[in-house]
Each structure stands twice: as structure tokens, then as C-alpha cells.
Amino acid sequence: MQTTINHDKITTINPATGKAISSYDQTSTQQISQVVGDARTAFEKWRKKDILERCDYIRNLEKILKKNQDLYARNITQEMGKPIIQSYAEIEKCAWLCNYYSEYAESFLREQIIPTEFRRSFVSFEPLGITVGIMPWNFPFWQVMRFVVPTLIAGNVAILKHSSICVECALNIKDTLDEAGFPSGVFQIVIGDYRAGEALVQSRIDAVSVTGSVNTGKRVAELAARDLKKCVLELGGSDPFIVLEDADLDHTVPQAVHSRLLNTGQSCIAAKRFIVVKEIADKFTRLFVQKTKEEIVGDPMDTKTTVGPLVRENQRQALIRQVADAKSKDAEILLGGRIVEGTGYYYEPTVISNVNHQMEVLREEVFGPAAPIIVVENEIEAITEANNSEFGLGASIWTSNFERGIRLSREIHSGVVKVNEMVRSDPRLPFGGVKFSGIGRELSEFGIREFVNVKSIAVKDITPKILVE
């Protein structure tokens, strides 16, 4: 049954001021059907282009991203509150992604010859068709580009249903691909709330990629499963940051603070549980609090600001509830724990100790600037604690022993493990999670193959018999 969409407008809000920015009409059900039809028509032409030609379009996209970086960065910051320096970095990362795939995609999708008894047998990587991206607000350009770039190079066409929080960013992305010369219908956007996403998934599309909450992922997977449509789901995370007794704290602590407070803590792969071996726990905690105090909370348009507002008041209320719950159960608030008075959805960077699994800060994903510190006896307890979560997206281990880091990384139940480095997505490496953190992979050669038909072809040579009279 198709979802019906009314004509309510979507209004975007500047989280630093709480004031409305703009209002937009939602895409109607009829318009969504037209978008899907246009995509199907475009696919039949786009899929026939040589992959090297499709790579040229992505090279153009890289140039446009760099040219319009100021506009895009400012719109990111205005719509979702990211500190402007981080918004610039997001656009730069998108340009890097374009450069990477335009250089390597052809080799990733090149036919692979498989030796068999046949005259010729090989694997061909062929596009699936219409892919839909349902994307979140926290990295409004990066999350979209890491879906769009590989799927378009692979020969698919794409439809974006972005978060209703960042409509202008969605329009910017559409303008960027148009300016890069992509043919009509190859990339389109739909504006709307969750109903628009549901309508798209139930339409005549072939695959869907979701980055968002666990509940969103489950709902999309349920709808897609009715027609056995391919899904890639990148969902929540509760990433452990494991500090062993031989860690170099001068290197580790600044990375710990940055990993927790990047994007004001609103990241699936932010460090969310700091698991510290008892031997160095007091020193780590003291340095962590000291370093956190140096963060600058303020106007996200100011280049000196390192912590901006939370994206919406309901996001701040969720954090208030989680911290209050911890405090009511005897956690100690070492720093922060309060809203920042004034306009905007600000919350003080917060450090919490004496936490346990009865508290929401450990049982739920904390999407804001709050850091719970867990003290353990040794590495065995550290790994057990790290794996004690329904999520499995990323994790980091901090140790001066190279081999120890590798050994312990194999014990972590997650899709990504970094040793002596904070968790970040990287175009060169596959990205995704296990457990409630999702299904499938993005980025690298593994990501570009998620939305292709991996086709086996075998040809037997039959030499015709020659009749002799």
C-alpha cells in the first residue's frame, strides 16, 4: 500500500538561534511517481555509458564542490549547527571521495576472469537500476556523496530523500550534480518527511541505502523486503574508546576529546564509551576534563568555535534526560551537565564518571557532547566491556604496543577498528557495522559493489561438425 503525502510545508530552523530559515513544499505522491519514472528512463541511457565516461562526470563534480565550498559550508552550518571549520572539512572530504573513485572505480568493476573448463568464464559487475538514498542531517553532504558517487559510477541512477532538517543542502547537492553536467534524471531529489521515504521505498525502485537510526533502518528494511529490494543500512553506534595502561596519554587524550565532541557529539562513529584501565584511569580522567574545558562553545559561524548547538531542542532534551538519569543513579558529573542559557540548542560539554549499565548513557546511543568514563581492571575486562553493546559500528584501541593493538582489534565486535587513531570513515576502506549498527558496506571497492549485480558468465565453445560427402 502506497504512502499518501499531504501538502504540508517543511520549515528549516537555525539551531544556533532557534529561528526559522526557509519553508519548502513537500514532494507529492504523484510527483514521486514521476521522479521514479524519469529515473527509469535515464537509467537505460546512463547504464550504457562507458565507466570511464561516468568517471569524467565525477571529476567534474569534484571541481564544482571545490569551487562552491564557501556556499556549501555555510549552508551546512546554518541548517544543522556544525562548526564552520568542520563544515569546510566535510566538503573537502567529499572532493577527496570524488577523486578517489574517479581514479579507481574502473579497476574495482573490471570483469574478473575465472579459470574453469569453459572457453571463457568471468564475473561481470552490472548496475541494478534505481537506487534510493535516505540520508541524515549530521553530515549533510558527506553521507549523501558517499552513497551517490559510487552508485552513479557503477551505472545506477539515484534518488535522494534527505532529512527535512537540511533541505537547502539537498538542493545544493542537486545543483552541484546539474552543474557537473549529469544528464537529466540520473540524480534527483525528493523533499519530505518519513512518508516521502516510505513512498520511495515502496515504488518501482531497485535498491535503497539508509543512514540513520535503528528504527528507521528496520522500517525501511521491512518495506524493502516485501519486494526483495537490496538494502544497505548504516545505523547507530556506541563506539568504545579503549585506553590501555601503556597508552601515550599526550597523544590519546586530545584525540579522545576530539572524537567525542566532533560535530558536537552528533556522529554515529563518535567515541561514546571511554573504557580505561584502572592503572591510568585517574590521570586519563584528569587530563580529559582539563582538555574538554579548553573547547570553545559558541556561534558555529565563528572559526574559533569547536562545539556548536545540538540540531534541535528534542535532541537536547534527550541528552538532558540521559545525563539526569545517570546522576539519579549515583554517577558523578565531573564537568558540565547543564544547558547553555540563551538562544539556540546548546549544551555544555559533559564528563561523567562512576557509570554502570543501569544508566541510559551506556544503554542508549548518546548523540551529544557527553562522555561517560568506565574504569576496568585490565585488557580482558576492557574487551568484554567494549563488546557489551547492541551496536557494533566502530571502536578504537590506544596502546604503545603495535602487536597488542592488532591482536585486540580482532577481538572487537564491530565493522571498523582503529588503533591509536580516532574512528573516521575513509574512501579507501570499507565502512559499516554489525549487530544493530547495520547491514552492508559503503566506500572502497566493497562499497561500490553493494549496488551491482555480480553476474557469473561462462561460455562453452562448441566446434561445429563438418559433414564429408
Q: Say what the pLDDT of residue 7 is.
A: 61
Q: Could you tell me if 179 and 295 lie in one domain?
A: no
Q: Could you tell me if 170 and 313 lie in one domain?
A: no
Q: Could you tell me if 275 and 319 lie in one domain?
A: yes
Q: Could you tell me if 249 and 135 lie in one domain?
A: no
Q: Could you tell me if 228 and 181 lie in one domain?
A: yes
Distance CA 421, CA 247 (A): 12
Residue 187's domain comprises 9-235+437-457
Q: Could you tell me if 258 and 162 lie in one domain?
A: no
Distance CA 140, CA 122 (A): 39
**Could you tell me the sign of the dihedral formed by the alpha carbons of 100, 105, 106, 108, in that order?**
positive
Residue 411 lies inside a defined structural domain of this protein: yes
Q: Could you tell me if 231 and 244 lie in one domain?
A: no
Q: Could you tell me if 98 and 120 lie in one domain?
A: yes
Q: Could you tell me if 169 and 219 lie in one domain?
A: yes
Residue 2 lies inside a defined structural domain of this protein: no
Residue 431 lies inside a defined structural domain of this protein: no
Number of domains present in the structure of the chain: 2
Q: Say what the pLDDT of residue 377 is.
A: 98
Distance CA 397, CA 246 (A): 11
Q: Could you tell me if 188 and 247 lie in one domain?
A: no
Among all residues, which ones are annotated catalytic?
A: 234, 268
Q: Are 32 and 40 in contact (CB under 8 A)?
A: no
Q: Say what the pLDDT of residue 465 is.
A: 65
Q: Say what the pLDDT of residue 2 is.
A: 44
Tens-digit pLDDT profile for the chain (469 aa)? Answer: 344 455 689 999 999 999 999 999 999 999 999 999 999 999 999 999 999 999 999 999 999 999 999 999 999 999 999 999 999 999 999 999 999 999 999 999 999 999 999 999 999 999 999 999 999 999 999 999 999 999 999 999 999 999 999 999 999 999 999 999 999 999 999 999 999 999 999 999 999 999 999 999 999 999 999 999 999 999 999 999 999 999 999 999 999 999 999 999 999 999 999 999 999 999 999 999 999 999 999 999 999 999 999 999 999 999 999 999 999 999 999 999 999 999 999 999 999 999 999 999 999 999 999 999 999 999 999 999 999 999 999 999 999 999 999 999 999 999 999 999 999 999 999 999 999 999 999 999 999 999 999 999 999 998 776 666 5
Q: What's the longest Cα–Cα distance across the chain?
A: 102
Residue 432 lies inside a defined structural domain of this protein: no
CATH code of the domain in which 413 resides: 3.40.309.10
458 DSSP assignment: E
Q: Say what the pLDDT of residue 1 is.
A: 38
Q: Say what the pLDDT of residue 192 is.
A: 96
Q: Could you tell me if 166 and 306 lie in one domain?
A: no
CATH code of the domain in which 131 resides: 3.40.605.10
Q: Could you tell me if 407 and 445 lie in one domain?
A: no
Q: Are 259 and 291 in contact (CB under 8 A)?
A: no
Q: Say what the pLDDT of residue 463 is.
A: 78
Residue 263 lies inside a defined structural domain of this protein: yes
Q: Are 101 and 128 in contact (CB under 8 A)?
A: no
